[in-house]
Structure 1
Amino acid sequence: MQWTGVMPALTTAFNEDLSIDHPFVARHAQWQVENGVTGLIALGSLGEAATMAFDEKLDLIATLVRAVDGKVPVVAAISALSTSEAVALAKAAYAKGAQGLMILPPYVYKGDWREMKAHVAAILEATPLTAMLYNNPVAYGTDFLPEQIQELATEYPNLKAVKESSTDVRRVTAIRALVGNRLSIFVGVDDAIVEGINAGATGWVAGLVNAFPRESVDLFRLASESKSAEAFELYRWFLPLLRMDTVPKFIQLIKQVQQEIHVGSARVRAPRLEVIGEELAATRAAVQHAIASRPSIAVASTQLTVKAAAK
């Protein structure tokens, strides 16, 4: 398990009856790999894990493991209302072939540091897999401070990375100052990726990569290689879409982008509903502008040969 590069936070494709579309999930995963991603993260926020039953989550992991056949690791995001359920999910995902974990704080309950540390520790101790800590205080109301991340890294050797989604790029430098190269730091918000890499991040858990994998991989590479002019040219073009990853309806918007360019369906599970009206029009306009204004430096993603069922 190498914690580096671009790892998609995969969306989950649904059939018309809102069951998981496993054939499309498999092909979409393979397409991401073909375009250069270094791993696949399933069951995260963007994957709508909160709407899935326990067995559905495991079936999804199994589909992805079969689909990529060892070409890249499959990472299972671990989230639950209770620590016991999170531990059970981690063990079951490991049994299904997951090669890494991404650990979220508990849903709903916003605990103090002692409680959050105990929750994370229980998951880290549940399997021999290495793991990434997911810090997203905006979404979950729990903030893992740099000093607390350092404490976890000191005590748990299988904690290898942190996904930093606080939206504050200074967190990257703060964590790096405390842990050095002990942890890989991933940027978790799409519209801060170039700034995050410049601050010392070495990975990207990306959202719009679900629709534009090659463009995402190229942006990460250019920024990592300090090719500033080329990186910012591609970044400026990409930003109107990347900003969709940072708003409350990011799942609906990213899935709508996938549908607009025929690499997925906009279907989401309730309580989310597909965007309509002005939101839909604005999303379509942003996609059309991106297609029309693609810079010469942008290498388009290869074609996804299997499309989601038509609406």
Structure 2
Amino acid sequence: MWSGIFPAVTTKFTADDQIDHAEMERCMALLIEAGCDGLIMAGSLGEGPMLSHDEKLAILKTAQGVAGGRPVLLTVNEAATRDAVSLARKAAAAGADGLMLVPSPIYHTDPEETVDTMRTVTSAGGLPVMIYSNRVAYRVDVTVPILEQLAKDDLFVAIKESSDDIRRTTDVINAFGDRFDVFTGVDNLACEALMMGAVGWVAGLVTAFPRETVAIYRLIQAGRHAEALEIYRWFRPLLDLDVSTYLVQNIKLAEVHAIGSNERVRMPRQPLRGERREMVERTIKDCLAKRPKLPEF
């Protein structure tokens, strides 16, 4: 159902901590112009847990106006299942093309709780769902046995595989064939996962480097692996910035240098400072200085 590059879009804020819809439109237009295949709003990188339901729905509307008919998914990452149900229903009413569903971001559900929660939210929304499996950040692992139960419901169509185990891509494909659209959700494992059969990439650094991200995906799909690897090896120091407690600040700082955006975040986050900022900024500037010329694809 879904494939390709789906950016996990950053949320832009004004100086007085309101949603900066104009800047979001500008930044998302760059993604669409570069050839991205969909947009995912209010996820981890989008600071979703810091947004109200009204803000998330407003962001969804802004994305729909830019996407040009490409699928726009809203992330459901609420702590309480009843709140997740409420947001899923609101997203459906607002015309979302699907949901990216975090099983339980605060309470670490056991397998039975994980299945019941995901079924409850999905049933309420009635929309296609991308399962977000991220045992590193959220301590809930959507394993192959759990997927076996969820596979009985046709609304579960995709999985964002962020277990940090590259073997999991093959495990899911071996178990289910093409039943689920497998997306990689770890930037610095993306090339590996795509070569192992993942059909999409929920990408982070794409928000600052959209053309390079799209190029890697399309070159791999065309079997031009050597060309994709050359770009990916240049990209790796930047992609490593996605695998961090400070991924939001890291990537927003990359957006400052690469696309002229801002690095405003919502508290309790604060922009990077001190040695950490110097290190990240040095990585960004070094990679920009060596930015490769992209082949035709």
Q: TM-score, normalised by structure 2?
A: 0.96
Correspondences of 1:155-174 after superposition (within 5 Å): 155-174=152-171
Root mean square deviation, CA, Å: 1.3
**1:106-133 Cα deviation digits (max 9, x unpaired):** 2211111111111100121113321100
Q: Measure the CA separation in 1 of the matches of 2:66 and 2:289.
A: 33
**Equivalent residues in 2 for 1:64-103 (5 A)?**
64-68=63-67, 70-103=68-101
For 1:147-172, what per-residue CA distance to the aligned partner results, in whole angstroms no more than 9, with x for missing partners?
2112201x210111000001111000
Which position in structure 1 is the counterpart of 2:54? 55
Stretch moving more, 25-34 or 206-215: 25-34
Give per-residue Cα distances to partners, 1:214-263, cap 9 Å, x unaligned.
11000111122231211111011100000101111001100011012244
Partner of 2:143: 145
Relative distance call for 1:291 and 1:277 in structure 2 (3 A) is same
Match of 2:248 among 245, 248, 251: 251
Q: Is the 8 A contact 2:91 2:125 kept in 1?
A: no
- 1-structure distance, mates of 2:294, 2:43: 31
CA shift in 2, pair 1:295/1:66, >3 Å: closer
1:22 partner letter = H
Structure 2 spans left out of the alignment, 5+ residues: none
Preserved CA contact (<8 Å) 1:12 1:20 = yes
Task: Tell me the secondary structure at the aligned position of residue 261 of structure 1.
Answer: helix
For 2:160, give the aligned amino acid: K
Aligned residue pairs total: 296
Q: What is the match of residue 180 of structure 1?
A: 177
8 A Cα contact 1:245 1:254, kept in partner? yes
Q: Secondary structure at the match of 1:125?
A: helix
CA change 1:197–1:15 in 2 (3 A) is: same
AA matched with 2:212: E
Query: What residue in structure 1 maps to residue 123 of structure 2?
Result: 125
User: Residue 25 of structure 1 aligns with which residue?
Assistant: 24
Q: Is the 8 A contact 1:130 1:158 kept in 2?
A: yes
CA drift of 1:134 comes to 0.2
Cα drift, residue 66 of structure 1 = 2.2
Distance 1:102 1:269 in 2: 22
Give the Cα–Cα distance (whole angstroms) in 2 for the partners of residues 213 and 35 of structure 1.
6
Of 219, 222, 225, the residue aligned with 1:225 is 222
What is the SS of the residue equivalent to 1:126? helix
Matches within 5 A, 1:184-263: 184-263=181-260
Amino acid at match of 1:74: V
1:266 counterpart residue number? 263
Confirm or deny: 8 A CA contact 1:211 1:261 kept in the other structure.
yes
Contact 1:3 1:184 (8 Å CA) reproduced: yes
Give 1:13 shift: 0.5
Equivalent residues of 1:137, 1:166 under 8 A apart: yes
Deviation at 1:298, TM superposition (A): 6.0
Give the match's secondary structure for 2:183: strand
Q: Note the C-alpha offset of 1:174.
A: 0.4
Cα distance in 1 for residues equivalent to 2:117 and 2:90:
17
Letter in 1 for 2:41: A
Deviation at 1:197, TM superposition (A): 1.0
Is residue 73–residue 99 contact of structure 2 (8 Å, CA) maintained in 1? yes
Corresponding residue of 1:306? none
Residue 267 of structure 1: how far off its partner (Å): 0.8
The separation in 2 between residues aligned to 1:228 and 1:124, in whole angstroms, is 37
Amino acid at match of 1:219: I
Aligned equivalents of 1:262, 1:36: Cα separation in 2:
16
* Aligned position for 1:45: 44
Aligned residue number for residue 134 of structure 1: 132
Over the matched positions of the two proteins, sequence identity in percent amounts to 39
**Is contact 1:58-1:93 (8 Å) kept?**
yes
Secondary structure of 2:27's partner? helix
